[in-house]
């Protein structure tokens, strides 16, 4: 294995990435870790993806147009977390009052049934972990209905990045190093994203002309070329028929009603089941019964304890009642009920940590739900936030499940397939009716939580994060930091995060005072600590609108993100 030079600082890596960006962008946008503008703003997990979205805004596109540009640009520059072979969820809130969610989750192929996971055996990577991807169909649906530009126009920045290349930064090098032993086993993937079979050093230029070819085909022919045409044929070949053309042709993306709630006078708009907007809102409903601000700080032990207990309560309900809405009826109304949250809040004991079971929301709704979900820790997935000058907002969380997904790259089109299928459990005859068994075109459960927050009808916050099971916790903590404690955007992003589990474990990111840690242990939390600014706690890419109408974007500190704006009204904040 090639030894890499010492990693550059975050600031140096960002400068390298920006210096090697396409010069055409520089004339139209300003980019930094944080930017302020009145003409729209984009925050994403890679500065070049944020630039791509801001370029579209500068050309007159709306937030949806810009979001599609970011989505595809991330597939180029953040291939370990985004791909044409991946999926996601989009929440759109338009200035005309339209609020809608776009479900482009990946789905199981048509030929599977409840017994399939047991028949194929356990696979961590490879063909049998792949699913029918949704990104191309979902982004096309959003663009056609809510965008203003053509697919060719919004794909142009991603095509340029794929052809001309981008510089590897610290996060890319680190994530490639972590996956090296498996990536090297897949020659086509290794030929694109490694450096002659070695871990790329920071500053290495990665080009992907094969993906540029795929993007040009999609720009010209739309999603049909991906789901029914030559790219579909290539996917079938790459997966030895596991993802067959019939399954690809049967794929649909869906418009779904948003999850809608309130928190301390703000309107909260999130993504519906099977993802975690429902859990975020239930947690906020529970937290409304506690005066968090009275404890003085977001790192106070009382705040960490109360938020942790609320997250465990909502997590127990989410595990029990939130499933693929194409297969199950979900008690959304009941779980969003303020009355139900009041009953759940009464279970929190300020003097001790507890484990919680799912509640009984059925007194608040006649709808039915199911149980059981197996969670795994992960730093994968990506999130981005977009706001345009007219107040149209888009929050998107997209993923290929694990970093680098299945490792199966589709030749000769230069993109990875996700590895979501491994989340389906083996069939147990003693428990024949589990809702998480495999079925044709069924989605697995996930924690994606893209969120838009409004006040008096105007967008104030756009939030979301990667991080596997930790996504709802990180999203809730950010919202609490901004609304309850009135922190600045930078302070809320940098504030140390935590993750509670129902076994009473509480994982703390570095930065909590020693007295907080001691107090939490005294309450019965099984505390573990990590260094500051860990990727596993998520990577917030967020937007905030201040009282004067200035739009602020902030990229993820934990994953070298960036923000960009068309012709920003002042210089970006200093990179730290």
Cα distances (Å, whole numbers) of residue 191 to 57, 76, 91, 183 = 34, 15, 35, 10
Quick one: three-class SS letters along 90-149?
A: EEEECCCCCEEEEEECCECCCCCCCCHHHHHCCCCCCHHHCCECCHHHHHHHHHHHHCCC
- Note if 381 is an active site residue: yes
- Residue 567 has what pLDDT? 76
> 456: Cβ–Cβ under 8 A, 6 or more apart, which residues?
none
Closest C-alpha among 164, 170, 173 to residue 194: 173
**Strand 562-566 relative to strand 451-455: parallel, antiparallel, unpaired?**
unpaired
CA angle, 534 as apex, 175 and 309 as ends, to 5°? 130
Six token digits for residue 513? 């005072």
pLDDT in tens for each of the 576 residues of the chain?
A: 232 332 333 443 443 344 334 444 545 889 899 999 999 999 999 999 999 999 999 999 999 999 999 999 999 999 999 999 999 999 999 999 999 999 999 999 999 999 999 999 999 999 999 999 999 999 999 999 999 999 999 999 999 999 999 999 999 999 999 999 999 999 999 999 999 999 999 999 999 999 999 999 999 999 999 999 999 999 999 999 999 999 999 999 999 999 999 999 999 999 999 999 999 999 999 999 999 999 999 999 999 999 999 999 999 999 999 999 999 988 999 999 999 999 999 999 999 999 999 998 877 654 333 333 333 445 568 999 999 999 999 999 999 999 999 999 999 999 999 999 999 999 999 999 999 999 999 999 999 999 999 999 999 999 999 888 999 999 999 999 999 999 999 999 999 999 999 999 999 999 999 999 999 999 999 999 999 999 999 899 999 999 999 999 999 999 999 999 997 444 444 443
Distances 476 to 61, 151, 384 between C-alpha atoms, Å:
30, 34, 16
Structure tokens at 536: 């596993």
pLDDT of residue 371: 31
Question: Would you state the pLDDT for residue 364?
Answer: 67
Task: Give the residues across from 416 on adjacent strands.
Answer: 409
pLDDT at 363: 73
CA distances from 83 to 39, 133, 398, 545 (A): 29, 9, 9, 30
Closest CA to 493 of 507, 479, 506: 479
d(CA 268, CA 480): 12
Residue 383 bridge partners (DSSP): 397
Q: Are 107 and 439 in contact (CB under 8 A)?
A: no
Neighbouring residues of 547: CB distance < 8 A, sequence distance ≥ 6: none
Q: What's residue 404's pLDDT?
A: 97
Give how far Cα 511 sits from Cα of 497, 531, 558, Å.
9, 8, 14
- Catalytic entry in 129, 381, 446, 516: 381
**What's 198's DSSP letter?**
B
From CA 53, how far away is CA 71, in angstroms rounded? 9
């Amino acid at each position: 294995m090639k030894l890499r030079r010492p990693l550059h600082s975050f600031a140096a890596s960002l400068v390298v990435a920006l210096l090697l960006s396409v010069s055409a962008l520089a004339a139209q946008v300003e980019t930094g870790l944080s930017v302020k503008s009145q003409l729209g703003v984009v925050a994403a997990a890679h500065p070049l993806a944020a630039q791509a979205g801001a370029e579209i805004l500068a050309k007159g596109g709306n937030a949806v147009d810009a979001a599609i540009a970011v989505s595809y640009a991330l597939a180029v520059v953040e291939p370990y977390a985004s791909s044409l072979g991946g999926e996601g969820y989009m929440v759109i809130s338009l200035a005309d009052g339209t609020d809608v969610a776009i479900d482009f989750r990946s789905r199981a192929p048509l030929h599977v049934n409840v017994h399939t996971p047991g028949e194929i055996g356990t696979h961590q990577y490879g063909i049998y972990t792949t699913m029918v991807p949704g990104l191309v169909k979902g982004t096309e649906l959003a663009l056609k209905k809510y965008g203003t530009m053509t697919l060719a126009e919004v794909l142009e920045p991603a095509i340029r990045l794929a052809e001309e290349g981008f510089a590897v930064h610290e996060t890319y090098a680190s994530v490639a190093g972590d996956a090296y032993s498996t990536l090297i086993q897949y020659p086509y993937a290794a030929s694109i994203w490694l450096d002659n079979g070695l871990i790329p050093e920071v500053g290495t230029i990665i080009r992907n002309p094969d993906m540029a070819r795929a993007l040009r085909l999609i720009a010209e022919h739309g999603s049909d070329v991906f789901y029914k045409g030559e790219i579909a044929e290539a996917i079938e070949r790459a997966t030895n028929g596991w993802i067959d053309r019939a399954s690809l042709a049967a794929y649909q993306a869906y418009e779904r009603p948003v999850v809608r709630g309130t928190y301390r006078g703000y309107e909260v708009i999130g993504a519906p089941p099977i993802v975690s907007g429902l859990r975020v809102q239930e947690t906020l409903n529970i937290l409304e019964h506690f005066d968090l601000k009275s404890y003085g700080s977001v790192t106070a032990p009382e705040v960490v304890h109360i938020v942790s207990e609320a997250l465990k309560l909502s997590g127990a309900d989410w595990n029990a009642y939130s499933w693929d809405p194409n297969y199950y009826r979900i008690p959304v109304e009941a779980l969003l009920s303020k009355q139900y949250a009041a009953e759940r809040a009464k279970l929190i004991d300020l003097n001790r940590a507890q484990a919680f079971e799912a509640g009984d929301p059925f007194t608040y709704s006649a709808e039915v739900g199911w149980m059981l979900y197996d969670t795994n820790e992960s730093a994968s997935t990506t999130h981005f936030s977009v706001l345009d000058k007219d107040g149209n907002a888009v929050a998107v969380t997209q993923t290929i499940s694990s970093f680098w997904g299945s490792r199966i790259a589709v030749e000769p089109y230069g993109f990875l397939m996700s590895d979501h299928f491994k989340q389906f459990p083996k069939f147990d005859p003693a428990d024949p009716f589990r809702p998480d068994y495999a079925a044709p075109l069924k989605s697995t459960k996930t924690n994606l939580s893209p969120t838009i927050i409004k006040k008096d009808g105007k967008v104030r916050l756009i939030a979301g994060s990667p991080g596997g099971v930790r996504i709802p916790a990180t999203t809730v903590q950010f919202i609490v930091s901004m609304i309850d404690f009135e922190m600045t955007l930078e302070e809320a992003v940098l504030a140390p995060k935590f993750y509670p589990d129902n076994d009473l474990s509480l994982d703390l990111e570095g930065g909590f005072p020693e007295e907080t840690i001691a107090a939490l242990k005294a309450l019965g939390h099984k505390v573990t600590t990590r260094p500051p600014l860990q990727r596993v706690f998520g990577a917030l890419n967020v937007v905030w609108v201040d009282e004067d109408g200035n739009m602020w974007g902030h990229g993820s500190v934990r994953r070298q993100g960036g923000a960009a704006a068309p012709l920003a009204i002042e210089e970006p904040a200093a990179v730290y």
